[in-house]
Amino acid sequence: MRKQRHEVYRNCPVEAALDIVGGKWKAILLFHILEGTKRFNELGRLLPGLTQRMLTTQLREMEADGVIARTVYPQVPPKVEYSITPFGRTLEPLLRELALWADAHVKPRLGEP
């Protein structure tokens, strides 16, 4: 289990926030889950560069932080879905702003419309 460090940050609240959503995949996964409940394999297909092991790790960390909820349905084959929690929903404005910032500043630098 991952050590919960973000509760003890005193010098910089940004450090605490990045502990929850930082890393290469968490914010991207969250952005997709904000659109609606997603199954494990669906998330894997959305991010082809993400290994199954890393996907599992990132989802477990976000679940442990209370950002997403994991629902397991007792059937064969197993069905697992991930949805946003009320706490996770509070991150939506930040992620939407990041998307707007990227559209305004990153795409033009890459020569994209």
For each successive 10 residues of the chain (113 residues), what is the average pLDDT?
A: 56 81 90 95 93 95 95 90 96 92 79 66
C-alpha–C-alpha distance, residues 103 and 92, integer Å: 17
C-alpha–C-alpha distance, residues 26 and 42, integer Å: 15
C-alpha–C-alpha distance, residues 12 and 75, integer Å: 45
pLDDT at residue 17 in the model: 83
pLDDT at residue 40 in the model: 93
pLDDT at residue 38 in the model: 97
- Looking at residue 105, what DSSP letter applies? I
pLDDT at residue 89 in the model: 96
pLDDT at residue 16 in the model: 80
pLDDT at residue 21 in the model: 87
Residue written as tokens 């929850």?
20
- Topology of domain 13-109 in CATH is Arc Repressor Mutant, subunit A (1.10.10)
